[in-house]
C-alpha cells in the first residue's frame, strides 16, 4: 500500500491511503489520524490500512478523492528522529579524491551518519526557500525508510524486519555553508536545511522483486531544469544496506517508531549514469579537468526527483520543487 499526508489537521497532517496509480486517495482517520500514530502501533494499524487500500483499489472506499500532490505534506511531516547515512561510499571517495585527501579504510566498514533536523520537513511540491544563492544550493536524491520501534543493539538482519515504509527524498544541502561548519569539527547544522520527501511512502511489498529486504534495485532519476542530471541505480555500489544503517543508528540507543533513516546521496562508480547531486558532478569535473564547471542552483531553478517501476509507473510520485528567494520577516 501507499500512504501520504494531507496538509490539514495540524502540524502532523492527516493520514491518507493512496492508490497504486497515485491518482486517488482516501482519508485514513478511522484507522489513525496521522502517519506517526499509524507507526506507533503498526501491528494493529497496518492490517487495517491495508484493508482500506484494497477498498480504494476496488473503487469501494467511501470518501475517496482525486489526488492533488500540491496538497500533500511530506508523508511524515515531522519526525522524532531523522538519521541520514552515507551508504554509497564511492560518493565519499570521489569527494575526498578531488580534495587530495586519503580516505580512512574504516569508511568501508563503519557507516557515516549524521542526525538531521526533523522538526519540519517539506512536501514534494513545496518551494526550496533560500536567502542567499552564495550558500551553494544543492539537491541530494536519496532513499529513505521509516521504522517501528527498534531495540538498541539490534543486528542488521533483525533490523530489516522493522522497515515499514520506503520513500525517496531530497536532502537539500548548502555546500558553501557546510565547508565552514565541517572545519569546526562539530558536524552539520545550517548546511542542512529542511528536507523534502516524495508524495507517498510505500510498504516494501509494493516494490516486488526490486526490494530484497534492505535495498531498492531501481534507478533514481534527477532532472534539473528539464534536463536529466543522473539516473544511478540505488542498489549498485551500495556499501551499506538499510539493515546495516538501522543497526548502526541503534548501536547506543533505541529508535522510536517513526524514525527515518536515509541512504545518503545515491551514487554509482560509473560516471555515465550521472549524479544525484551537483556536488558530485563538480567533484568529477575537478578530477577530470582540474576545476568544477557546473554551478550550484540559483533562484528559479527546478529540481525533479523520481523513481519508476519496471512497467514505467512512478512508485512514490515526484519530488518537484523550485528554488525561490526567502526574505526574512522584518
Task: Calculate mean pLDDT across residues 69-90.
Answer: 97
Question: Has residue 56 got a pLDDT over 80?
Answer: yes
Computed over every residue of the chain, the mean pLDDT equals: 96
pLDDT in tens, 25-34: 999 999 999 9
pLDDT of 99 above 90: no
Query: Contact at 8 Å (CB) between 1 and 42?
Result: no
Give the cell for residue 189.
Answer: 547544522
pLDDT category at 92 given cuts 50, 70, 90 is confident
Q: Is the pLDDT of residue 104 over 90?
A: no
With a cut of 90, say whether residue 110 has pLDDT above it: yes
> For 230-250, what is each residue's pLDDT tens digit?
999 999 999 999 999 999 999
Q: At what angle do helices 278-289 and 89-98 cross, to 10 degrees?
A: 50
Q: 179-203 b/e with 16+ CB inside 10 Å = b?
A: eebeeeeeebeebbbbbbbbbbbbb
Whether the Cβ atoms of residue 243 and residue 205 lie closer than 8 Å to each other: no
Cα separation, 144 vs 75, whole angstroms: 11
User: Which residues is 219 bridged to in the sheet?
Assistant: 233
pLDDT at 97: 80
Of the candidates 100, 138, 168, 157, the residue with the CA atom closest to the CA atom of residue 280 = 138
pLDDT in tens, 265-293: 999 999 999 999 999 999 999 999 999 99
Average pLDDT for 39-44: 98
Give the pLDDT band of residue 154 (cuts 50, 70, 90): very high
The number of beta carbons lying within 10 Å of the beta carbon of residue 45 is 17
26 and 61 in contact (C-beta within 8 Å)?
A: yes
Amino acid at each position: 500500500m501507499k500512504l501520504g499526508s494531507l496538509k490539514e489537521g495540524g502540524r502532523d497532517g492527516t493520514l491518507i491511503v493512496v492508490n497504486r496509480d497515485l491518482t486517488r486517495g482516501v482519508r485514513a482517520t478511522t484507522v489513525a489520524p496521522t502517519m506517526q500514530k499509524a507507526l506507533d502501533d503498526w501491528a494493529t494499524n497496518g492490517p487495517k490500512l491495508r484493508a482500506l487500500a484494497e477498498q480504494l483499489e476496488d473503487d469501494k472506499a467511501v470518501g475517496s478523492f482525486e489526488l492533488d500532490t500540491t496538497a500533500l505534506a511530506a508523508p511524515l511531516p515531522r519526525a522524532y528522529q531523522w538519521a541520514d547515512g552515507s551508504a554509497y561510499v564511492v560518493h565519499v571517495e570521489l569527494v575526498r579524491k578531488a580534495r587530495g585527501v586519503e580516505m580512512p579504510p574504516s569508511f568501508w566498514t563503519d557507516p557515516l551518519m549524521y542526525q538531521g533536523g526533523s522538526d519540519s520537513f517539506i512536501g514534494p511540491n513545496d518551494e526550496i526557500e533560500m536567502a542567499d544563492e552564495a550558500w551553494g544550493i544543492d539537491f541530494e536524491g536519496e532513499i529513505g525508510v521509516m521504522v517501528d520501534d527498534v531495540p538498541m543493539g539490534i543486528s542488521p538482519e533483525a533490523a530489516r524486519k522493522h522497515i515499514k515504509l520506503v520513500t525517496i527524498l531530497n536532502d537539500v544541502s548548502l555546500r558553501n555553508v557546510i565547508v565552514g561548519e565541517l572545519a569546526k569539527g562539530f558536524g552539520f547544522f545550517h548546511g542542512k536545511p529542511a528536507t523534502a520527501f516524495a508524495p507517498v511512502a510505500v510498504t516494501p511489498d509494493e516494490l516486488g522483486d526490486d526490494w530484497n529486504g534492505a535495498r531498492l534495485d531501481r534507478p533514481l532519476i534527477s532532472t534539473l531544469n528539464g534536463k536529466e542530471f543522473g539516473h544511478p541505480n540505488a542498489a549498485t555500489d551500495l556499501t551499506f544496506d538499510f539493515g546495516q544503517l538501522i543497526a548502526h543508528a541503534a548501536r547506543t540507543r533505541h529508535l522510536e517508531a517513526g524514525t527515518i533513516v536515509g541512504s545518503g546521496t545515491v551514487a554509482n562508480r560509473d560516471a555515465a549514469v550521472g549524479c544525484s547531486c551537483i556536488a558530485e558532478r563538480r567533484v568529477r569535473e575537478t578530477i577530470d579537468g582540474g576545476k568544477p564547471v557546473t554551478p550550484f542552483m540559483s533562484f528559479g531553478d527546478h529540481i525533479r526527483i523520481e523513481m519508476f517501476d519496471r512497467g514505467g509507473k512512478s512508485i512514490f510520485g515526484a519530488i518537484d520543487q523550485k528554488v525561490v528567494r526567502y526574505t526574512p520577516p522584518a
